[in-house]
Each structure stands twice: as C-alpha cells, then as structure tokens.
Amino acid sequence: MIETGVLIDIYGNVLAWHEPDGRSGGSLPDSPRLWDLIWRYHEAKVLLGFAHSHPGTGPCMPSREDTTTFEAIENALGRSLHWWIVAADGGPIASFVICTRTPIGVDENPMPLPIAQHNGWMVYQMLGSFPSWVYELRHRSKVTDRCTACGKPVPTQGAPFCSEHLKDQALRQAWEEL
C-alpha cells in the first residue's frame, strides 16, 4: 500500500491526482504542483476538498499531521474544505471518513454518520455507495480488495467475497440484506 491523494471538485469529480515522488505506506508528501492546483481550483471556485488513502484497517482517523495540514490549508484559503480518508482495509466496505471543522448535513450521498471528534475535527463515517474516485484511489494506492469473510484477495475489485465464499449462498444472501 502506498498513500495517494486526489483533489475533488464541487460536483464530486476528480480534478487531479497527487502521486508525488517519495510517497510511501506512511507518508504522502506535498509538492509545489499540489499547492498550485489547490490555489488554482480554489480561485476558480470549484474545489470541494482533498482525499487521501491511509494504511491499515478499521475506522480511519486523521493523524496529527493530517489535521495540522488541513488547518493550515483552510486558514490559507480562508474557508473550509472536505477532507476524506480511505483506509486500505481491503473489503468493499472500506473505511471511508470525512473530516470537517463544521457540521455537515445527513442528506449527502454517501450519508455521513458522526463517529468521533478527533484532534478538534468532526469525523463522519461515510455510509452508502461510494463515489467512483474512492475505488480509483484505492487502486492507485495499490490496495488489494479482500474477502469480508476470510481476508483472502477477491477475484474482482469491489467484490465482497473470494471465489470460495462467493459459492456460499447463505453468506451472499446475508451480505445482500445489509
């Protein structure tokens, strides 16, 4: 897994990918290009936010480095942005959160569920269908989707189960009822 970032516009589309030299499974350095793009899209009034991948599993929480970066960028721009984090936990229900300093409505899709306040930021678990850029972000982060039942790699990106568990009718039915 290697951390990757993406700028998202007000319509939920990808503006630009951030895959700088020196990124790793625990680091996503900024770059002059990223700063230039943030300013350009901010001035054009089309920038909604930035998403990046995190290593590990389970609920993703912003690191102290994340929150200080979010705060510095928002202070420089003079406005709030959306800050998404996608965990590399493999399954189709990958941890997908949004961090803000201001409350967000529950009428968004995917629906935000408040789960924590962390380092002064509100963290919401995103529920429902994910935007297509989430899957591309995970792909560019070299994340392998994993079976929700056993953790083995799945045959196709976004599939809930490995080939062995896809044959289990009761397991598939329970999954579809979620």
Q: What is the DSSP string of 50-115?
A: EEEEESSSSS----HHHHHHHHHHHHHHTS--EEEEEE---SSS--EEEEESS---TTSSSEEEEE
Q: What is the pTM of this model?
A: 0.77
Does residue 135 surpass a pLDDT of 90?
A: no
Three-state DSSP at 165 gives: helix
Torsion on CA atoms 67, 84, 33, 144, rounded to nearest 10:
120
Confidence of residue 176 (pLDDT cuts 50, 70, 90): low
- What per-residue confidence (pLDDT) applies to 92? 45
Which pLDDT tens digit goes with each residue over 66-93? Answer: 999 999 999 999 999 999 998 866 444 4
Region class of 64: left (phi > 0), else alpha (psi between -120 and 50), else beta: alpha
Which pLDDT tens digit goes with each residue over 105-127? Answer: 655 666 777 888 877 888 887 77
Can you read off the two tokens belonging to residue 59? 């609920």
What is the distance between the alpha carbons of residues 153 and 177, in angstroms, rounded to a whole number? 23
- What per-residue confidence (pLDDT) applies to 107? 59
Which pLDDT tens digit goes with each residue over 30-79? Answer: 999 999 999 999 999 999 999 999 876 666 788 889 999 999 999 999 99
Contact 69, 125 (CB under 8 A): no
Q: Which helix (H) or strand (E) holds 41?
A: helix 32-43
Contact 49, 83 (CB under 8 A): yes
Structural domains of the chain in order of their starting residue, each with its CATH number = 5-143 (3.40.140), 145-178 (no CATH)
Confidence of residue 18 (pLDDT cuts 50, 70, 90): very high
Can you read off the two tokens belonging to residue 92? 């189709």
Can you read off the two tokens belonging to residue 135? 């899957």
Residue matched to tokens 């700063």 = 35
Share of the chain above pLDDT 90, in %: 38
What is the distance between the alpha carbons of residues 32 and 16, in angstroms, rounded to a whole number? 14
The pLDDT mean for the chain works out to: 81
What is the distance between the alpha carbons of residues 138 and 78, in angstroms, rounded to a whole number? 30
Amino acid at 1: M
Backbone angles phi, psi at 50, to 5 degrees: -135, 135
